[in-house]
Structure 1
Amino acid sequence: MTQTEFFNALKAIGYPVVYSHFSTDPAPPYLVYVFAYSDDMMADNLNYLGINNFQVELYTTKKDLAAEKLVKDKLKELELPYTQTEAWIEDDKLFQNIFEIQLIGE
């Protein structure tokens, strides 16, 4: 799956979505995704298989199980295993749910 295909799949959830950051934040809930790091498989001193790790960040004003489920369901539909962490951002008064995923082969 390419990063463009991944972006389009996230847009299908129905929330505003952007890579890295919005110039002005939309009303929550919204999604931001960012490249975190690569973990490529290597063989014969070459990067044999690209493995790019991304974070999908869901921002909500309250604990929103329905919004989290939409993201989880989309990742499952795409057959992308994920891990999830959550934080409260006091300054912004937002919950941040981070879903870490890998895009293989790009």
Structure 2
Amino acid sequence: MQQSELYQLLASTGLNVYFYQTNKSVSPPYVVYLRDGASARGSDDKNLIKKESYIVELYTTMQDSKSQGKIEAVLDNAGVHYTTTESYLEDESLYMVAFYFDITRKV
């Protein structure tokens, strides 16, 4: 899966999706995603496999299991294994659920 395909996957939830940040004021719920790093490996002096790490963050004004479920469903259907954390951002009065996962693909 390429980064553009990840965007399409997240957008299919019907939530507003932004890469890394947005310069405009948006109303929750919304999703921000970013690439958190990458590595490549292979053999015979060629990289054959690339692993990219991503973080997807869901921001809501209250705990929103429906929006969280939409993200979980598209990741599950795409076969993406993920872990999550939840936190409350007091300065912004927002809940955040973060999904962490790696996408490994042949180069």
TM-score (structure 1 length as normaliser): 0.91
Stretches of structure 1 that go unaligned for 5 or more consecutive residues are none
Cα deviations across residues 6-37 of structure 1 (Å, max 9, x unaligned)?
10111110011010111123110000000111
What is the alpha-carbon distance in structure 1 between the residues aligned to residue 75 and residue 29 of structure 2?
Answer: 17
Query: Which of the two has greater strand per residue?
Result: 2
Amino acid at match of 2:89: I
Q: What percentage of residue pairs aligned between the two structures are identical? A: 27
The corresponding residue for 1:40 is 40
Amino acid at match of 2:12: A
* SS of residue in 1 equivalent to 2:66: helix
What is the alpha-carbon distance in structure 1 between the residues aligned to residue 25 and residue 73 of structure 2?
Answer: 24
The corresponding residue for 1:51 is 51
Amino acid at match of 2:6: F
Amino acid at match of 1:64: D
Cα deviations across residues 48-84 of structure 1 (Å, max 9, x unaligned)?
3100000010000111111111110110011111010
Number of aligned residue pairs: 106
> Is residue 22 of structure 1 aligned with residue 8 of structure 2?
no
Q: CA deviation at 1:46?
A: 4.3
What is the alpha-carbon distance in structure 1 between the residues aligned to residue 57 and residue 79 of structure 2?
Answer: 18
Report runs of 4+ in structure 1 exceeding 4 Å deviation: none
TM-score (structure 2 length as normaliser): 0.90
* SS of residue in 1 equivalent to 2:26: coil
> Is residue 82 of structure 1 aligned with residue 86 of structure 2?
no
